[in-house]
Amino acid sequence: MDINDLNENIKENFKNISKVIQAHEIRHDHTFNSLIHITMLVEFLFKALEEKGIKIDLDAFEDFQKERVETIQETMKEMETNEELQEQVKQDFIKDGLDLTDD
């Protein structure tokens, strides 16, 4: 391999890294915006319920949260062992133009 081939390989690797970083930034921005929207929705709902005289017992939230986290964790474990789902995620990445092959 000569220096030109090496330089082209490095350029290609940087392009791939750049694509991954851009995709990550887009996902991060989308997640942050979603979080803001959900927060505003929850605030709106609480305000609307209070105006109607409905009070929500936030002390019960801790138990609800624990149960929900356990359910989510179980689902994630199931997804980690589901080869069909893993293949689908891989195909989605490929469809989005991400190169998953090892160099």
- Note whether 76 and 35 are same-domain residues: no
- Note whether 89 and 63 are same-domain residues: yes
Mean pLDDT of 95-103: 68
- Note whether 31 and 78 are same-domain residues: no
Mean pLDDT of 40-47: 94
- Name the maximum alpha-carbon separation found in the chain: 76
Average pLDDT, the chain: 86
Q: Which has more confidence, 58 or 9?
A: 58
For residue 12, the model assigns a pLDDT of: 83
What are the structure tokens assigned to 77, written together? 């474990």
Residues 6+ apart with CB under 8 A from 1: 9
- Note whether 97 and 73 are same-domain residues: yes
- Note whether 1 and 50 are same-domain residues: yes
Which residue range is the domain that position 66 belongs to?
Answer: 57-103
- Note whether 12 and 36 are same-domain residues: yes
- Note whether 78 and 41 are same-domain residues: no
For residue 102, the model assigns a pLDDT of: 56
What's the structural domain count of the chain? 2
Mean pLDDT of 77-90: 84
Residue 54 per-residue DSSP state: -
Mean pLDDT of 27-52: 93
CA angle 86, 81, 69 (to 5 degrees): 100
- Note whether 15 and 46 are same-domain residues: yes
Check: CB of residue 103 under 8 Å from CB of residue 28: no
- Note whether 34 and 10 are same-domain residues: yes
- Note whether 46 and 81 are same-domain residues: no
- Note whether 66 and 100 are same-domain residues: yes
**pLDDT band of 1, cuts 50, 70, 90:** low
